[in-house]
A = this chain, B = another copy of it.
Amino acid sequence: MKDIAPRNDTFAPFCGIKLEECKNGFARSTMKVEQHHKNGIGTVHGGALFTLADYTFAAAANSRGTDVHVVVAINAQISYMKAVTEGILTAIAEEIKFDTKVPVYIVKIFNEKKELVAVFNGMGYKKEVKK
């Protein structure tokens, strides 16, 4: 990974998120469900799932390096499909469009049975890097 942005992230590791793969607009991350990831009804918090997806989106969007610009999220949407209570979650980012000022990615989160847990749609903005 040439990108420094995901590497300096502190919130993702705080949440237990690990970047497993990241190159050419693709990224894959994992998060092992812990007790502190839960919402009031005992399932994984929507914010934890969103963070996993958002981090994976940022990794994919910056996977080609951040020498010229860094992609920051301006807009994101998430649909929740399945409540999860345990196991390792995997997020996979697919690049929809990169050759634009506002690149778009779809991220899918799966549980260990490869069932779809959530679908995330993120739009970034290419910010010039000042040197």
The chain A residues found within 8 Å of chain B, CB to CB, are 3-12, 14-15, 35-42, 45-48, 50-52, 54-55, 58, 62, 70, 72-81, 83, 96-97, 100-102, 104, 106, 116, 119, 121, 123, 125
Summarize A's interface: helix, strand, loop or mixed: mixed
CB distance from A116 to the nearest CB of B (A): 6
- Once the chains bind, are B11 and A39 in contact (CB under 8 Å)? yes
| In the complex, chain B residues whose CB is within 8 Å of the CB of A79 | 74-75, 96, 104, 121, 123
Q: State the copy count for this chain.
A: 4
Q: In the complex, A42→B51 CA distance in Å?
A: 16
Q: In the complex, A75→B121 CA distance in Å?
A: 11
- Once the chains bind, are A77 and B77 in contact (CB under 8 Å)? yes
One of B48, B51, B81 near A104 (C-beta < 8 A): B81
CB distance from A89 to the nearest CB of B (A): 14
| In the complex, chain B residues whose CB is within 8 Å of the CB of A8 | 38-42
Q: In the complex, A116→B54 CA distance in Å?
A: 21
| In the complex, chain B residues whose CB is within 8 Å of the CB of A14 | 36-37
One of B10, B76, B101, B106 near A46 (C-beta < 8 A): B76
